[in-house]
């Protein structure tokens, strides 16, 4: 007997970081930004009567604002419901050759999920011993390449020249650079500066981390016009109204407050550097971070134990029980006060020092 169960698309879903229900916790497990959106967003007038109407399917206000911000043509910008939506759409659009796509073995764990969902063959490429992406690993025959830069969960930045080697070495497939954390990296690290020269490059960004708007779900991609037009065609074959009116409005308001954006990103970088130094003093190995989180491992105390004890104290880190990284903790950079509490907890409850 046939069962409907044999017709079902069976997938192993992505597991997002825990969103604890308790209020009084220090939540450093999903790389959210502690500072909240700009005052411009808070004071934005939303015309609720407009909610009865469908939003602009092209989200032109937001597209134009982002195009101006990045000095590109509006036809080079694709917006979506968080970069997860943008990435999913890019996988569906560009990875359709039957050849395996390539991404690092330690990377954003959503990539293999989309590949499985869309039945895209993939091959992971091992990061080096010290968790670097080796560009020459991505120069073999493939159906496309995707990697985060800075990488997640390692936080390590691949220098722009190395990114360019991967893009230049793959002229006949699309290379997606997922720049979810690039605003926390040194100036000049973004692959957006390569866009004029490469028609196979897609750069993906999000408002969830540096712009502190994870709750609104805004992501975007920038590429040459032809690439973006292909994504639009797929999007309009799927769901025309992906961006709701509040997201378009608040998204524009956020981009218009450059001063607040720079100030809060700068604060997180300063806190990250201080926190890294403190962790090292406690005997942690910390991978140099260009993101709003650090990836750290202790020489003596297992990461899983620290993760568990922290959780009991209401401090949430991210722990992945996965090969190669099961002795690492991924810790989001919160406020100075939160990070001081973390250092106190590690000093007293883990290292048993005064």
Residue ranges in contact with ligand PLP by CB under 6 A:
31, 82-84, 108, 148, 152, 178, 180, 206, 208, 214, 219
Taking the complex as a whole, the smallest distance from the CB of residue 175 to ligand PLP amounts, in Å, to 15
**Among the listed residues 245, 223, 118, 235, the one whose alpha carbon sits nearest the alpha carbon of residue 174:** 223
Terminal C-alpha separation, the chain: 68
Instruction: DSSP for 334-347, please give it.
Output: --HHHHHHHHHHII
Distance from chain centroid for Cα 274: 23
- The residues that bridge with 175 in the sheet, in sequence order, are 145, 201
Rounded least distance, CB 297 to ligand PLP, Å? 19
Q: Is the distance from CB of 177 to CB of 144 less than 8 angstroms? A: no
Other CB atoms within 10 Å distance of the CB of residue 172? 10
Of 216 and 296, nearer to ligand PLP (C-beta) is: 216
Residues 68/110, Cβ–Cβ less than 8 Å: no
Nearer to ligand PLP, 109 or 341 (CB): 109
Shortest spacing between CB 71 and ligand PLP, in angstroms: 22
| Minimum distance, C-beta of residue 25 to ligand PLP, in the bound complex (Å) | 20
Euclidean distance between CA atoms 147 and 101, whole angstroms? 11
Which residue of the chain is nearest ligand PLP when measured via CB? 82
> Cα–Cα distances in Å, from 162 out to 172, 178, 194, 196, 333?
18, 15, 12, 17, 27
- Smallest separation, CB 103 to ligand PLP (Å): 11
Residue (178 or 183) nearer to ligand PLP, CB: 178
Q: In this complex, which beta carbon is closest to ligand PLP, that of residue 215 or of residue 302?
A: 215
Pick the closer one to ligand PLP by CB: 213 or 346: 213
**Of 179 and 338, which CB lies nearer to ligand PLP in the complex structure?**
179
> Smallest distance, Å, CB 109 to ligand PLP?
9
Q: Using N-to-C axis directions, what is the helix angle for 258-281 and 336-345, rounded to 10°?
A: 10
**Which of these, 287, 257, 280, 273, lies nearest to 41 by C-alpha position?**
257
- The secondary structure of residue 247, as a DSSP letter, is H
Per DSSP, helices labelled H in the chain are: 39-42, 60-70, 82-94, 110-117, 160-168, 225-235, 245-255, 258-281, 303-312, 336-345
Buried b (16+ CB within 10 A) or exposed e, 295-327: bbbbeebebeebbeebbeeebbbbbbeeeebeb
Nearest distance, CB of residue 6 and ligand PLP, angstroms: 32
Closest CB to ligand PLP among 153 and 298?
A: 153
Using the minimum distance from each CB to ligand PLP, give the nearer residue, 31 or 297.
31
Q: How far is the CB of 218 from ligand PLP (least distance, A)?
A: 7
């Amino acid at each position: 007997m046939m069962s409907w169960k044999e017709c079902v698309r069976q997938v192993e879903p992505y597991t997002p970081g825990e969103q604890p229900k308790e209020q009084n916790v220090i939540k450093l497990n999903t790389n959210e930004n502690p500072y909240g959106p700009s005052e411009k967003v808070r004071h934005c007038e939303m015309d609720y009567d407009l909610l009865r109407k469908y939003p602009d399917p092209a989200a032109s206000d937001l597209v134009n604002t982002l195009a101006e911000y990045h000095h590109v043509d509006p036809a080079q910008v694709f917006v979506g419901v968080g970069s997860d939506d943008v990435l999913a759409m890019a996988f569906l659009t560009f990875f359709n050759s039957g050849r395996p796509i390539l991404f690092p073995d330690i990377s954003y764990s959503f990539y293999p999920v989309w590949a499985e969902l869309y039945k895209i063959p993939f091959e992971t490429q091992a990061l080096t011993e010290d968790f670097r992406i080796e560009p020459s690993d991505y120069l073999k025959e493939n159906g496309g390449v995707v990697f985060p830069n800075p990488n997640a969960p390692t936080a390590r930045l691949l220098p722009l020249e190395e990114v360019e080697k991967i893009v230049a070495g793959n002229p006949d497939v699309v290379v997606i650079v997922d720049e979810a954390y690039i605003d926390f990296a040194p100036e000049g690290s973004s692959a957006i500066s390569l866009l004029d020269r490469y028609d196979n490059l897609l750069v993906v960004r999000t408002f969830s981390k540096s712009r502190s708007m994870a709750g609104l779900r805004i992501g975007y991609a920038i590429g040459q016009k032809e690439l973006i037009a292909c994504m639009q065609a797929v999007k309009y074959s799927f769901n025309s109204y992906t961006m709701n009116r509040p997201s378009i409005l608040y998204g524009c308001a956020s981009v218009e407050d450059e001063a607040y954006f720079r100030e809060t990103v700068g604060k997180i970088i300063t806190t990250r550097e201080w926190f890294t130094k403190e962790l090292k003093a406690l005997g942690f190995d910390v991978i140099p971070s260009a993101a709003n989180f650090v990836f750290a491992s202790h020489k003596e105390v297992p990461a899983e134990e620290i993760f568990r004890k922290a959780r009991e104290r209401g401090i949430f880190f991210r722990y992945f029980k996965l090969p190669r990284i099961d002795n690492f903790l991924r810790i989001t950079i919160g406020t100075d006060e939160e990070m001081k509490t973390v250092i106190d907890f590690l000093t007293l409850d883990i290292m048993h020092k005064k």
